[in-house]
Amino acid sequence: MNILFCYNLDNLSGWGSLSLSYLKKLKNKKPVVFCSKKNPNIKAKQYAILKDPIKYISNPFLFYYDSKKIIEVIKFHKKKNSKISAHFLVEPYIFFTFFLNKIIDYNIFYVIGTYSNYFAKSLRWKFLFKLLFKKIHVVIFLSNYMKQKISPYINFVHAKSLILNPYIHAKKSALKKKEKNVLRVLSVGAIKKRKGYFKLVKAISNLNIKYPNRIKLTIVGNINEKKYYEKIKFFIKKKKIESLVNIKINLNNSRLNTCYKNSDLFILASKEHGYNLEGYGIVYLEALSFGCEIMISKQSGATDIKEISNKFFIFNPNSLKDMQKKLKSYLIGKKINKRSNVKMFNKINHSNELKFENFLEKF
């Protein structure tokens, strides 16, 4: 019996996209899903018991309170002599194991990104986090980058660890041709400092001086840090590049997909900021599936893509010069082959999916 601890079952976030992908592979095993909101399009048994992860961090007593409801559900579904495997796809929910340990046989912890980094290093949580690993049987890192960041702070004596890069279920889409003499750049993610948007906008502004109207940027995301967003908007207005930089807020899936279709190059200038980091970035895979070229921040787990292909640039998100140099190469001759990029996506995605399938065979 497999149990999944998810948050929202949608593809509007990394957690949600991962949960939907993994849930699809587990559907034949009839999993039980704990989440914050049910998805009517999913046939699995769903229980909307879980709260926003931030609420649990603010009030840890809620772990104990909600664990009682979870135990009742598990007992209801548990078959005689069956083994229970719990998949914690949202990091803060792993603290439920302190109360569910007697009823769950295998705890599988998915180390995704910022929260794991926070729990491993913060004074408030690191003791409990280390203690927790005595109750975990398998640790899955989303990338080599995440393993390098977290491993020095935890003890693997009681747990097996492995790296499983994410995969997505992409929809086939007609590829649109490149606009003549214009490089259409796209960046997708929450608008906050660690996504590096300000430096990216500055790079576009600088390149426009030498290559006027040859490079355009679209940013798609929700506003997480209002002051940072306003700083970017002020810079755009000051430099008079409103026609070159377009920020789109709160797009639905259909409109986001249109942005991918109408873009040539995808870049995510993610960087480490406090405890915050980019464990992988599913948007890289989404962009590739639409044929976009990709530029990968070296402070991102997506650098694992280089193990399959050296085609794509990896850049330093803290270096404006490096970012501009690699963007410039697309303006002065580096070709973009959308069909080739889609083939590369299929290769990368299939490899990651196959590894996850092989892992699931044990459960």
The predicted pLDDT at position 130 comes to 87
Beta bridge partners of 47: 34
Give the whole-number percent of the chain exceeding pLDDT 90.
Answer: 71
Dihedral through CA 55, CA 12, CA 352, CA 301, nearest 10?
-60
Tokens describing residue 213: 């109207």
pTM: 0.91
- Going by their DSSP bridges, the two strands 32-35 and 245-248 should be labelled as unpaired
Domains observed in the chain: 2-164 (3.40.50.2000), 183-347 (3.40.50.2000)
Give the strand order in the sheet containing 215-220.
245-248, 215-220, 183-188, 265-268, 293-297, 313-315
> In the predicted model, is pLDDT for residue 12 greater than 70?
no
> In the predicted model, is pLDDT for residue 79 greater than 90?
no
> In the predicted model, is pLDDT for residue 176 greater than 80?
no
pLDDT tens figures, 188-232? 999 999 999 999 999 999 999 999 999 999 999 999 999 999 999
The predicted pLDDT at position 348 comes to 94
Alpha-carbon distance of 264 to 131, in angstroms, equals 47
The predicted pLDDT at position 156 comes to 67
- Radius of gyration for the alpha carbons in the chain, expressed in angstroms and rounded: 21
> In the predicted model, is pLDDT for residue 271 greater than 90?
yes
Task: Quickly state the pLDDT bin for 159 (edges 50, 70, 90).
Answer: confident
Three-state DSSP string of 78-125: CCCCCCCEEEECCHHHHHHHHHHCCCCCEEEEEECCHHHHHHHHCCCC
3-state secondary structure of 273: strand
What mean pLDDT comes out for the span 83-111?
93
Give the strand order in the sheet containing 32-35.
45-48, 32-35, 2-5, 85-88, 106-111, 138-141, 160-163
Tokens describing residue 80: 């005689």
First to last CA, the chain: 8
Alpha-carbon distance of 120 to 132, in angstroms, equals 11
342: closest CA among 183, 182, 175, 179? 175
Q: How far is CA 213 from CA 22, 161, 334, in A?
A: 43, 49, 18
Tokens describing residue 266: 């995808």
